[in-house]
A and B are shown apart, each in its own frame.
Chain A
Amino acid sequence: MTAITRAEVEHLARLARLQLTDDELDHYAGQLDVILQSVARVSEVAAEDIPPTSHPIPVQNVFRDDVARPGLDRSAVAAGAPAWEDDRFRVPRILDEE
């Protein structure tokens, strides 16, 4: 596992939507490197033929019936919203093309 660079930390922060300060970028670059070196120990285990566990208890096929029920009152939906307009959540402008 290669050392993590400041540029990589910056990229991760962008992916994770964290507007880190320069100080934080410096600080985290060092810490993440140490942590990642440490957790990279998992690769020491020879586990070629070992199946991964994504779920600790083997349960499968859990479904509910297709029955519609009313959800929340709109007043309860709106109550938590940082900005609300015209019965909708108001969000800042979206620069993306989509």
Chain B
Amino acid sequence: MTTMEGDLTRQSATVLADAMAQGEVSAEEVTRAHLDRISEVDGDVHAFLHVLSDEAVEVARGVDRRRAAGERLGPLAGVPLALKDVLTMSGVPTTCGSRVLEGWRPPYDSTVVERLRAADVVILGKTNMDEFAMGSSTEHSAYGPTRNPWDLERIPGGSGGGSSAAIAAFEAPLAIGTDTGGSIRQPAAVTGTVGVKPTYGGVSRYGLVALASSLDQAGPCARTVMDAALLHAAIAGHDPRDSTSIDAPVPDVVAAARKADIRGVRIGLIKELGGEGYQAGVSQRFDEAVEVLTDLGAEVVEVSCPNFEYALAAYYLILPSEASSNLARFDGMRYGLRVGDDGDRSVEQVMALTREAGFGAEVKRRIMIGTYALSSGYYDAYYGQAQKVRTLITRDFAAAFEQADVLISPTAPTTAFKIGEKVDDPLAMYLNDVATIPVNLAGNAAMSLPVGLAPEDGLPVGMQVIAPAMADDRLYLVGAALERALVDRWGHLLIEEAPDL
């Protein structure tokens, strides 16, 4: 394939991996093409906080050498990837988008990174995010916002806006995101890409800097469903270092993506996630996609999840509570920023000054809400009650999955909004996650994939597909079928319609 070289950054991971396996292109060439693309466009997009230029080329050369020596390599060997800056990578800066961790280089690899290395994936760098993953727009990064490649005035979603923008801007074919309330799926929706939140416990959290331990989950970001499946398979599976990791075989997501046949599959339309509050173009494209699913032979039914209306409230109690405790360790004593240590101030003062200077507004807001909700006297009414709501939401899902194999909804109520529009209106910002949050509360698996552009603003719309816990393969079955039908209709992936940068 002689034309490969010029188009390297436009290719899917699957195509690149095949081309490298066939010897049509080297891993070094693929890596350099993406590093060049980052140099070209990242000044505008600002997806990356740290680029591993030399290291990535070094890793790619190693892959080429081993391939040349006849070694059998994995399906993603040599494919470049952008890593969300919330996962530790030994010796590489890990900031979580916060000043408090500026300059910190962890002495250990997260399990996800360990598995990426084992799969010979080439990590290009660390991507921008809302500080400690708190946000839906990546505006809450201490290092400045990331911009949506579809419209640089708009947000790329959040908290993983760096990862979604990197993929949408063709800076990498793959990225790792983390999803606590929608931080993989909502950025995927607003950038016209694919993002998957695996079942809670499906991918190890060891080395993922915790926001809310009982909600966080790392997962794949890509431009195609098959690429996401390959990455999912590479990072998932039991890890003895994460006690909440599921000790069971990973569902065969790659086979499901390959099968892509949904004849007879029962699909539940969640009544409570749609209609009022959803942008007209979002509803329109979503409804059209539902018709496509029906055309493909699926049986679409409506399901009701009455307790979902309390999900946002429960989430914004559970998340800040856990976060207030998880973020306590950033106190300037052992690593990262220390402020005000003049030899006279007490340890208590230095901790308070460090945290005041090191954390941004949204982080402080949530730490205080969490501190309040866990306080004696309020625990039962807030945290305790939120945990009960969580049980009710899980029961709603269980009932819905009696009627359907997967559930669907729009991923986000709107398309990408303008940078600055909601940045100091926390409640408006929190509403972005209204459709994605119930999944995190229950621990299910879910995917967002593009279903078109909203007619009123020409921006991408995402559909969310939800599967029961440990049935992640169903996401890929349905996602791949829908993607194939839509690509057939459009003649290309939706992302191809993004304007040139």
Contact = CB atoms under 8 A, between A and B. Distances in A.
Contacts of A7: none
A62 B243 contact: yes
Interface stretch (B5-13, B15-23, B365-373): B365-373
A4 B375 CA distance: 14
B347 A91 contact: yes
Contact of B369 (A36, A91, A92): A36
Contacts of B334: 80-82, 89
Most buried by B among A19, A21, A41, A89: A19
A20 B441 contact: no
Contacts of B367: 16, 18
B282 interface: no
B338 A82 contact: yes
Contact of B201 (A19, A57, A72, A89): A57
A69 interface: no
A34 interface: yes
Contact of A24 (B331, B337, B343, B364): B364
A21 B361 CA distance: 12
B199 interface: yes
A92 B341 contact: yes
A12 B365 contact: no
A13 B350 CA distance: 14
A59 B201 contact: yes
Interface stretch (B164-172, B312-320, B487-495): B312-320
A95 interface: yes
A45 B338 CA distance: 44
B347 A94 contact: yes
Given A12-B368, A47-B392, A53-B390, A91 B333 contact: yes
Contacts of B200: 56-57
Contacts of B384: 52
B464 interface: no
Nearest to A61: B243
A16 to B, nearest CB: 5
Contacts of A17: 328, 331, 348, 351-352, 355
Interface in A24-62: 24, 28, 31-32, 34-36, 38-45, 47, 50-57, 59, 62
Contacts of B392: 45, 47, 50
Given A24-B364, A89-B334, A16 B313 contact: no
Contact of A42 (B314, B338, B349, B369): B314
Q: Main SS of the interface on chain B?
A: helix
Interface string B383-417: 01111111110100000000000000000000000
Contacts of B390: 52-53, 56
A35 B426 contact: yes
Sorting the interface of chain A by its residue count into under 10, 10 to 19, 20 to 34 or 35 or more gives: 35 or more
A72 to B, nearest CB: 6
B244 A82 contact: no
Contacts of A18: 352, 355-356, 359, 364, 367-368
B313 A28 contact: no
A95 to B, nearest CB: 5
Contacts of B244: 55, 57, 59, 62
Interface string B431-453: 00000000011110000000000
A18 B350 CA distance: 10
B62 interface: no
A15 B347 CA distance: 14
B278 interface: no
Given A12-B372, A17-B331, A17-B352, A35 B427 contact: yes
A42 B351 contact: no
Given A34-B427, A51-B388, A57 B105 contact: no
A40 B369 CA distance: 12
A53 B387 contact: yes
B107 interface: yes
24 contacts: A20-B364, A24-B364, A31-B365, A32-B372, A35-B369, A39-B316, A41-B310, A42-B385, A43-B381, A45-B385, A47-B385, A47-B389, A50-B388, A52-B384, A53-B391, A53-B394, A57-B201, A59-B243, A77-B107, A80-B104, A80-B334, A80-B336, A91-B333, A95-B347
Given A57-B199, A81-B335, 5 more contacts: A45-B310, A56-B200, A56-B442, A57-B443, A92-B343
